[in-house]
Amino acid sequence: MRHPQFARWALIPVLVVTFAVSTATAGPLPRDAKSLLPADPAAVLVVASVNEMIDQVVTVTGVFEEGDGLEREKILDDILKGFGGYAALLDLDRPVIAAFGLPDMMGGGDPPVTLIMPLHSGSSVPDTLHLEDFDVAAMARRGDYLALSTYPQFVPADAVPDLAGHLPDGLVALSLDLEQVVLNFRPFIEMGLMGIPTRPADTPPDSTGAFSLEEARVIGDVVRDLMDAATRLDLAAGMEGDKLTWAVGLGVKPGSVLDPGPQPDFDRALALTSALPADADIVQVLAFDQTRMFDAFGDYYRITMRQSMAALEPEVGERYSAWVESYLQSMDLWAVPMAAALRVRDDHMAVTAISELADATDALNRLSGLLDGLNAVGVGFSLTPGDGVTVAGVDFRTWTIDFDLAQFQAILEADGAMETPGPANIPVEQMVGLLRKIMPKLYLGVCKGHMLIASDENTEDLAHMVETVKAGQLHVTIGQVAAAAHAGKGCRQTINGDLMSIVSWMTEMVNEMDPQQKLALAENPIPFQSDFAFEASNFHFWFGIDLEAAAQLSRAMEAMEQD
């Protein structure tokens, strides 16, 4: 029998992964609860407190809907309806766990589900329970926790499954055993790979999406490599201070295609932040070497590039293909400590960036070659070399960035981008005008083993970078150290600042705003932070944004779409 009532119950915490707000977290789990888990579950879902989850869903939806949020009583009724008269036994202030098995791919049927529910202290539970739309085939109790399973042969595991032993923090947390899932579904995935549409080897790529036999083989190999690389997936949501947070974790096998290998020193990247403008709207600090992964997936990138360029003129496609090949051979340029800042000006966005390299002059020459090569491709924009400038005693190469309206429109139409709905579907003339203002110019230079990049014709920020490097005054900044500390020892990137600076700028570029509207946006910042780390064969991604600000961002994006 299927379990629609349980599915409805389980859907609520899953949706809360998008909205949950709480100081409660999923781990560590109570000992009695953990002792009831089945052996080798494929997925474990934990709600740290159902009552708190409901309260915070009501709060969050009220903020997003400006007072017209979900009703607590209705949510609670939906959750407890399936438990009938037994609902009063449940202590909804303590963690609830759902463990899922995998379906029998040959025999069919639903996957086994085990609910581990907290009881009020001293509650008496009958030997058998009959729940609406949830077939209780087995029961077990440890202390004040009760396990209900749809699997007749259910017995608690002798030891806590590894999947449940490392749950992420959050009001709602979900961990998925990817190795077990892949093993179960792999025969069907292999059947799908055998059905990749192909074309004769001597025919060029076309708009049908068909691949040559060699391309189909490469795609199949990539999918198999990915299946063999990932071990687990973790999702969580919660609250840290005033920030609404989301977290994603991905476990990978050492030496697999997803293992990035040795990494550059992140502390060196942190030290570069002192060369950035102190009043930047957004700051990025990065020290992540992706060279190994790009090498592993290089053939796949080439195939997808050829497919995307199939509708263009053959000469353009060939030039772009050659340029992409050069780019793929240049990933080491970014496998170094880097820091960048974005400041929103009235008429454009000003970017400044600095990287630390073993041979900065060679890197400058190679990057200049990539820019000049891209200029020659003819894909809708140009990077015209300038005469160069000298800033604070350092020579900088310059490029002016512009867009060919007719060529750009032809490329968008060939790629199907003109059919994109929503805020992206703006007139191409307006889009090109917007792109011209984002980065009108580019400056590249070298100073004492560092490559300096800027996009602002006002060279004050560039001069500050030069003077800081020349004086040997590179040092970590307190705010960025705090951001990196949040990500932990394996931090590879942090991005933080004010999203409203970009939203308001783009809104004004698309629709002219009066001074009062601009002031209102400026007085309502959207602080955010994003972390990325790799430690002990696990990727960790985290994003946090102020709750009220997140609602403002949602409404701003909705207004842009309506306009």
156 in the same domain as 16? yes
230 found inside a domain: no
Note the pLDDT of residue 522. Answer: 62
Structural domain of residue 490, as residue ranges? 260-399+438-562
| Tens digit of each residue's pLDDT (9 = 90 or more) over 47-80 | 999 998 888 888 888 888 776 778 888 989 888 8
Let me know if residue 199 belongs to a domain.
Answer: no
Q: Tell me the mean pLDDT in the region 363-379.
A: 92
* Mean pLDDT computed over 202-231: 85
Q: What is the pLDDT of residues 34-48, one digit of tens each?
A: 999 999 999 999 999
Mean pLDDT for 496-513 is 69
pLDDT recorded at residue 119:
95
Mean residue pLDDT of the chain comes to 84
Clarify whether residues 138 and 275 are in a common domain.
no
Q: Which helix (H) or strand (E) holds 542?
A: strand 538-546
For residues 303 and 165, state if they share a domain: no
Q: Measured between alpha carbons, how far is 278 from 337 in angstroms, rounded to an integer?
A: 19
Q: Are residues 173 and 61 in the same domain?
A: yes
* Residue 353 counted as domain residue: yes
Of 535, 545, 543, 544, the C-alpha closest to 166 is 535
Instruction: Measure the CA angle with vertex 448, ends 447 and 452; round to 5°.
Output: 35
457: left (phi over 0), alpha (psi -120 to 50) or beta: alpha
Distance between CA atoms of residues 35 and 160, nearest Å: 6
> Would you say residue 520 has pLDDT above 70?
no
Number of domains in the chain: 2
379 with 282, same domain?
Answer: yes
Q: Is residue 318 located within the same domain as residue 460?
A: yes
Domain boundary residue, one of 179, 201, 231: 179
Closest C-alpha to 26, from 239, 305, 309, 278 = 239
In a domain, 195, yes or no: no
In a domain? residue 197: no
Instruction: Examine the domain organization and report whether 361 and 488 are in the same domain.
Output: yes
Total number of residues shown for the chain? 563
| CB-CB neighbours of 519 under 10 Å | 11
CA geometry: angle 237, 240, 241, nearest 5 deg? 145
Whether 430 is in a domain gets the answer no
| pLDDT score recorded for residue 525 | 79
Its pTM stands at 0.84
State whether 173 and 288 are in the same domain.
no
Q: How many CA atoms lie within 13 A of 47 on its CB side?
A: 29
Instruction: Enumerate helices (H) and strands (E) in the chain, giving the number of each.
Output: 19, 19
Q: How far apart are CA 87 and CA 78, in angstroms?
A: 12
Three-state secondary structure readout of 281-321: CEEEEECCCCHHHHHHCHHHHHHHHHHHCCCCCHHHHHHHH
Q: At which of 138, 154, 179 does a domain end?
A: 179
CA distance 110 to 9: 16
Taking the C-alpha atoms of 6, 9, 15 and 17 in order, what is their torsion angle to the nearest 10 degrees?
Answer: -90
What per-residue confidence (pLDDT) applies to 206? 63
Q: Do 154 and 284 belong together in one domain?
A: no
pLDDT value, residue 72 = 87
Q: Is the pLDDT of residue 331 over 70?
A: yes
Domain identity same for 17 and 106: yes
Domain boundary among 149, 179, 209: 179
At 529, phi and psi to the nearest 5?
-150, 140
Helices 405-415 and 428-438 sit at what angle, rounded to 10 degrees? 110
Domain for residue 348, yes or no? Answer: yes
| Predicted confidence (pLDDT) at residue 323 exceeds the cutoff of 60 | yes
pLDDT value at residue 429: 67
**Structural domain includes residue 236:** no
Please give the average per-residue pLDDT across 523-531, as a whole number: 84
Examine the domain organization and report whether 144 and 271 are in the same domain: no
